[in-house]
Amino acid sequence: MKDVIIGSAVARNGLFLAPMAGFTDAPFRALCRLYGATYTVSEMISAAAMHFGDRKTASLARLPDGDTPTALQIFGHSPEFMAEASSSLLSGDYPGCEYAQKPCAIDINMGCPVKKIVSSGDGSALMKSPELCAEITEAVCRSADRFSIPVTVKIRLGFNEINAPEVALACVRAGAHAVFVHGRTRNQMYSGSASADGIARVREALPPDIPVIANGDVKDRESAESLLQRSGCDGLMIGRGALGNPWIFREINGYFSSGLRIMPPPTLAERIVVIKKHIDALCAAKGEGRGMREARKHVAWYMHGLRGAAEFRRMAGELETLSDLDKLLEKVYIENKDVSFDP
């Protein structure tokens, strides 16, 4: 798999970390970057909230030292608000924004299937109107062009019916530099399987110099290879497959860089060290109280595949302090130290 270039940013081996609300904050991005996700995308940022001066929203746009290349993803349905959000984020003058470096791109969310987002006309609801998608893209591109920053869009195959090729082409004609495609419609949510054939139709509809990145159901080397080959896309964006498993980028990079078909899974010791490192960074960034509340879902994901996972997930849901985490990890070690994690 080749590198993918978007503006001045390079995704090595074409691997991207998908934006996921509540998950892809700076500490998680840093961890995934360590294992090979060289291009990451922020949690989605509300353009309307920014318009009305919500300082909490700005915290989602913080890019600490080393958090590059990272794109900032915005969502909304007003071309004016979306362009305004882009300008505020790229100028860095919005209260609460903290940049050690500028974002590498602005990504437009046209794919979120969550009811709360869709009912406001945002996210994947935009795909019901290719014309509005193009209007928003054009407005954001005009804003971003002032800072020489590219604009990308993240879409689904459609809302009810597949119209992703039409939407993608409209966005590219309006100025989008790349398209990320999740292989389901909004109505499917996350049920069934992502359609590589549906994504391939988007690749076929766009000029060859526009990167098209496939997203959906990548959970290991085999699924990555299959989606890439069947879709004909330029790269892969990994979302849920990275939750509790940042090593997925190492596994896929190992295959595409060196042809390694079997990458040893993380040892128990590495799992424990990484969990501790992740949650320590989360608490350092957000304070122990908030950090531990947010840590509960992350730690629960890390428990997948361990002996005693159900009990560990229950304990993860009750974490209050870093001391609680240490006690949980000690229990994880004791109950799994004789388990082989060899493939």
Catalytic residues: 112
Q: Are strands 9-11 and 178-182 parallel, antiparallel or unpaired?
A: unpaired
For tokens 């046209």, name the residue: 110
Nearest to 130 by CA among 92, 83, 165: 165
For tokens 């459609």, name the residue: 158
Nearest to 130 by CA among 84, 173, 68: 173
What percent helix, strand, coil does the chain show, rounded to 5? 50, 15, 35
- Report d(CA 182, CA 99) in Å as an integer: 29
The answer to whether the beta carbons of residues 68 and 101 sit under 8 Å apart is yes
For tokens 């349905």, name the residue: 77
Burial class (CB in 10 A: 0-12, 13-18, 19+), 342: exposed
Q: Is the dihedral of CA 191, 197, 200, 204 positive or negative?
A: negative
Is the bond preceding 207 in cis, omega lying within 30 degrees of 0? no
**Contacting residues for 148 by C-beta, under 8 A, at least 6 apart:** 7
Q: What does each C-alpha distance from 171 to 30, 127, 202, 257, 287 come to in angstroms?
A: 30, 11, 12, 32, 40
